[in-house]
Structure 1
Amino acid sequence: MTSFSPPPVDAVAPEPVPAAGGAAGGPRPSAIVIGGGIAGLASAALLARDGYAVTLLERQDTVGGRAGVWERDGFRFDTGPSWYLMPEVFDHFYRLLGTSAAEQLDLTRLAPGYRVYFEGDPSEQTTTFDIADNRDDNLALFESIEPGSGPRMARYLDSARDTYEMAKKRFLYTTFESFTPLVKRDVLSRTPRLARLLLEPLDRFAARFVTDNRLRQVLGYPAVFLGSSPFLTPSMYHLMSHLDMEDGVLYPQGGFTRVIETIADLARAEGVDIRTGSSVTSIRTEPAGSGRAVARGVEYRDAAGVTHELAADVVVSAADLHHTETSLLPYSLQTYPQKYWDDTLAGPSALLLYLGVEGGLPELEHHTLFFTSDWHDNFGRIFPGTRGSAHTETSVPNPASLYVCRPSATDAGVAPEGSENIFVLVPIPADPDLGAGGVDGAGDERIERLADLAIEQIGAWAGIPDLASRITVRRTIGPADFARDLNAWKGTALGPAHTLRQSAFFRAGNVSKKVAGLYYAGGSTIPGIGLPMCLISAEILVKRLRGDVSTGPLPEPLTATVQSNGSASTGGTARRAPARSRRR
């Protein structure tokens, strides 16, 4: 390996953005996007479509962030997201760029949507069942397990659909820069109901429709995908049940890395300059008076260790918000300083396992969930102080409720013939001290021991006694990996948990209050966690830059409003583009 010494701190190579206006002097205003995860790629693509000259800087050697890929011995593993929900959000994003999900992806509908294994004695209760890909079969399933629950669940799903549609229409695609557009009849007429859904936790809400613990768990587990617990997540998020129990679950052939590839390709087609191996070390600003500043660009270090200055009119950070605020800005310019994070609840971290297994695994569906019987204990260990829990400090649940993905059930290209590809996610506390993973058991001792326990649990509950002996490829990821590789606050796998005070307009906004021209995108900010939310975050970034306070999606395809002189046009009404010194 060739070694090198980093340049001295003052060895900075100034570098203008090609074809950039404003500070860089070219015909078009320029934008820098920090982070090449899905939010960063989507933001870069839409900004370029809107008329900006965009440079994207990604610290890793490849783009994707959490939605990465790892390959070994003929196995190809998605390293993060694995549920394709809210398909209309993906399709809308593609249509903004003049294409469609159908043109970009080969989507397969999963039937069943997923399988669930429950802790317990098979002689005393049903310990496994499948959630179908349609409403009628799922209502029949609930009725068969808890007689009389079918009509109640029909009302639950009706409510979930109505809440989901209302969220898309009024809450997901808004910057919350103004609340006036929310003062509409459809919102006002639902105010008492919306207030109850915000104040009542998901678990308690679900318990009013079903009493069987297994069914309550099926309705409550989507909280985990929101980085939270069913005892903490507002029941507003029962809308998730519409997605998996009625809308159905899809899978993009080639895996979620294929989604990333398509968005990166579209960004490049729009003219985005994607630079990997480029680690941003600071956001450059100039004073603007009254304790405020103006973003002027960034300083970053390339793969060879050379430090560069890159000028721009707009800076967008799609990196972890805690890292952006506390590491890339001085304290005086932080909208969300450390004291903000001290009062913020982190979503769980995760133990991730990527396993190549010899032979078939018919006991597992494409998506399989394993639920412990005592969720107060399980979630109370991850979120101490949770209602009903006696835990006051974090600890790792054992056994744990966990998730297994077997993409080789649907996609022959992710594993060699005669073998299976499985991805395991075990929610654990957000604590980097729990350790890092490794390949073939080379991770920290505690992480590898937890991985052994998870493999043993899956084998025992699913009736695969020889699972461990059939593993030919093994890699683990722990909280320390999230902190090191993704600059993830507290090593969380997802971001700030979706609790009442961390959802909707209570969540961190997408614009700096102290640095004009600095904006945010991704799961740390509005609207929240998940690939669809990250795509929406890119769209509401564009809306924020345009001063668009509407609550719905933008018209398709996206039409450029930023012009070469730095002005912006909105429906024929010319107005000045957000200048770097513009006050909000």
Structure 2
Amino acid sequence: MTPPRASRPTGSASTTRRKVPVRRAVVIGGGISGLASAALLARDGYAVTLLEQRTQLGGRAGSWERDGFRFDTGPSWYLMPEVFDHFFQLLGTTAAEQLDLVTLDPGYRVYSEGHDEPLDLRADKEQNIALFESVEPGAGERIRKYLDSAEETYAMAVRRFLYTSFQDLRKLAAPDVLRRLPKLLRLLTEPLAKYAETAVRDRRLWQVLGYPAVFLGTSPYQAPSMYHLMSHLDLADGVQYPKGGIHEIITAIGRLARAEGAQVIAGAKVERILVEDGHVTGVVHRDRDGGQHVAPADLVVSAADLRHTELQLLGPEHRTYPAKHWQKRDPGPSAVLVYLGVDGPVPGLLHHTLVFTADWHANFGAIFGKDRHVPDPASIYVCAPSETDSTVAPPGSSNLFVLVPLPADVSIGKGGIDGAGDFEVERIADRAIDVIAERAGVPDLRDRIRVRRTIGPQDFADDLNAWSGSMLGPAHTLRQSAFFREPNRSRKVDGLYYVGASTTPGIGLPMCLISAEVLLKRIHGDTSTEPLPTPLVRDAAV
């Protein structure tokens, strides 16, 4: 599905653009949202400097190599392909030109506790409808209606809710929104878990409809059923994969940002944002040798964790969101990640494999409930890119990325290489490896591991300044979605803006790409709700 393209608003937006005096922009953070912002701002005419504290770009979407194995360190699903393509079109190119994309079919496999045989979800909507019908007679037509609703809701979200800063809520009172208002109110107030029950009763199928809540940093019991739109993405649109791994997206956007003229500096740790008379004037940072520098700026964009930006990079008088604000917010889940280089095949796995426990109330309650603790047993996710891509592992070997969702709690600890992480992190990893061995039918899996590295919640906090060690960003509960999410501009400091998972529209690679476009619209006073026309035309006034 291609997002609808809007013409630039007449009148106010173009007039406002001529008045913007900003010429120098500093972007804090070299994750996907920071790089995308740098690329768009540079194309728009700004002199852009991007500062990334780590030596590698990508943030959560990094890459790690050892002994011929190359691992994506974070995101591994390529969903919403039209969002990526639209972003590349803004810069005068396409996703097809920048990435080598393949469609996964089956898109993913699901093992559910209590059932020996997995379910394989295909790249075709009709095949998935047939699968649902074969598992639960009568579910086929109900899931068709469910997916039709998901498609309609997704199109509405793209047209009205994703590409906007919510500066002008009157824009949401469009005729197409008002016509659907009764249904939208239900979708906003009814949990996804309950809404999924309108389509299926079989627990395995219900879990297929509910698991996308984890992509949103929450549980199906807390996510608004508006997010049933996610099922359109994997059950109807299908799942793709960029050869070389998800980090290839970072490489492409970084390449384009530099081509547009942005200066990208790695190993530059930002210490504070300078403010004079209520306006940003620059950013103080240290280089790899400890030398202190000031990057002057008329505009600063923080792609770092918003809580970190507010509480660590700004003085108390300049904070829009002080410490007490975050006491009422939900940081989303954390995880233990495990990167495994394995001798030989792991035949029970596909490129994407989900292993679900039977008792989701207990599993999600442990992660998101009042008494948060490490779930045991835990549902896990496994990515085996070597099933699709021969470049990510030596010949005859398997590359496994394992994710175990946990509560955001840094006391769980840090990971390490070859079992050197903290005890609890390694225990969780061992348990997940045993589950994979059992489900995949590989009893000697442990003995075949050549490379092992773990990541724990404390690593997310230390390496990414993530709030409470969150792996994704603030959860998409109703109170933290759409116009309830923290907006992308400081209320206390002129010229200070935010992008990335902490702000609108939310978490995930596509949302972070959109946040860069919403930033540009915000700067120029563009209150439209639709994607910008492509390609982006440089603003001569800037």
State the match for 2:514 in structure 1: 536
State the match for 1:559 in structure 2: 537
Matched, 1:221 2:211: yes
Question: Aligned partners of 1:562 and 1:350: how far apart in 2?
Answer: 46
Residue-by-residue CA offset, 1:248-307 (whole Å, 9 max, x unaligned): 0000001011110000000000000000000000000012xxxxx111111111111011
What SS is found at the alignment partner of 1:356? strand
Matched, 1:330 2:320: no
Matched, 1:475 2:453: yes
Decide whether the 8 Å contact of 2:348 with 2:439 is kept in 1. no
Within a 5 Å distance, the mapping from 1:256-267 to structure 2 comes to 256-267=246-257
| Aligned amino acid, residue 178 of structure 2 | L
Pick from 82, 85, 90 the counterpart of residue 88 of structure 1.
82
| Aligned amino acid, residue 244 of structure 1 | D
What SS is found at the alignment partner of 2:354? strand
State the match for 1:317 in structure 2: 302
State the match for 1:460 in structure 2: 438
Shift of 1:129: 1.1
Residue-by-residue CA offset, 1:410-458 (whole Å, 9 max, x unaligned): 1100000010001000001101110000000011111111110110011
What SS is found at the alignment partner of 2:89? helix
Shift of 1:562: 5.0
Decide whether the 8 Å contact of 1:349 with 1:427 is kept in 2. yes
What SS is found at the alignment partner of 2:151? helix
| Unaligned stretches of 5+ residues in structure 1 | 1-26, 288-292, 385-391, 567-584
Shift of 1:331: 1.5
Decide whether the 8 Å contact of 1:366 with 1:409 is kept in 2. yes
Matched, 1:351 2:329: no
Shift of 1:479: 0.1
Shift of 1:464: 1.6
Matched, 1:368 2:346: no
Decide whether the 8 Å contact of 2:22 with 2:298 is kept in 1. no
State the match for 2:172 in structure 1: 182
What SS is found at the alignment partner of 2:137? coil
State the match for 1:414 in structure 2: 392
Question: Aligned partners of 1:117 and 1:28: how far apart in 2?
Answer: 53
Question: Aligned partners of 2:169 and 2:330: how far apart in 1?
Answer: 26
State the match for 1:193 in structure 2: 183
Decide whether the 8 Å contact of 2:22 with 2:299 is kept in 1. no
State the match for 1:56 in structure 2: 50
What SS is found at the alignment partner of 1:551? coil
Shift of 1:148: 0.4
Question: Aligned partners of 1:239 and 1:342: how far apart in 2?
Answer: 30
| Unaligned stretches of 5+ residues in structure 2 | 1-20
What SS is found at the alignment partner of 2:253? helix
Question: Aligned partners of 1:340 and 1:248: how far apart in 2?
Answer: 39
Question: Aligned partners of 2:22 and 2:456: how far apart in 1?
Answer: 43
State the match for 2:106 in structure 1: 112
Decide whether the 8 Å contact of 1:117 with 1:462 is kept in 2. no
State the match for 2:15 in structure 1: none
Question: Aligned partners of 1:458 and 1:396: how far apart in 2?
Answer: 18
Question: Aligned partners of 1:327 and 1:256: how far apart in 2?
Answer: 30
Question: Aligned partners of 1:227 and 1:50: how far apart in 2?
Answer: 33
Decide whether the 8 Å contact of 1:52 with 1:562 is kept in 2. no
Question: Aligned partners of 2:331 and 2:252: how far apart in 1?
Answer: 31
Pick from 126, 132, 139 the counterpart of residue 136 of structure 1.
126
Pick from 207, 228, 231 the counterpart of residue 241 of structure 1.
231
Shift of 1:462: 2.4
What SS is found at the alignment partner of 1:315? strand
What SS is found at the alignment partner of 2:270? strand
Say which structure, 1 or 2, has more relative contact order (CA 8 Å, 6+ apart): 2
Give me the identity figure in percent. 63
Instruction: Name whichever of 186-195 and 392-401 sits farther off.
Output: 392-401
Decide whether the 8 Å contact of 1:120 with 1:373 is kept in 2. yes
Cα pair distance change 1:28/1:235, threshold 3 Å: closer
Shift of 1:461: 2.2
Within a 5 Å distance, the mapping from 1:399-548 to structure 2 comes to 399-548=377-526
Instruction: With the length of structure 1 as denominator, give the TM-score of the two structures.
Output: 0.89
Residue-by-residue CA offset, 1:493-541 (whole Å, 9 max, x unaligned): 0010000000000001000000000000000100001000000000000
Instruction: With the length of structure 2 as denominator, give the TM-score of the two structures.
Output: 0.95
Question: Aligned partners of 1:57 and 1:265: how far apart in 2?
Answer: 15
What SS is found at the alignment partner of 1:251? strand
Decide whether the 8 Å contact of 2:347 with 2:441 is kept in 1. no
Instruction: Name whichever of 293-302 and 478-487 sits farther off.
Output: 293-302
| Aligned amino acid, residue 368 of structure 1 | T
Structure with bigger gyration radius: 1
Decide whether the 8 Å contact of 2:499 with 2:515 is kept in 1. yes
Question: Aligned partners of 1:170 and 1:446: how far apart in 2?
Answer: 44
Question: Aligned partners of 2:185 and 2:319: how far apart in 1?
Answer: 32
Residue-by-residue CA offset, 1:314-359 (whole Å, 9 max, x unaligned): 0000000010001001122111111111000121101000000000
Decide whether the 8 Å contact of 1:38 with 1:65 is kept in 2. yes
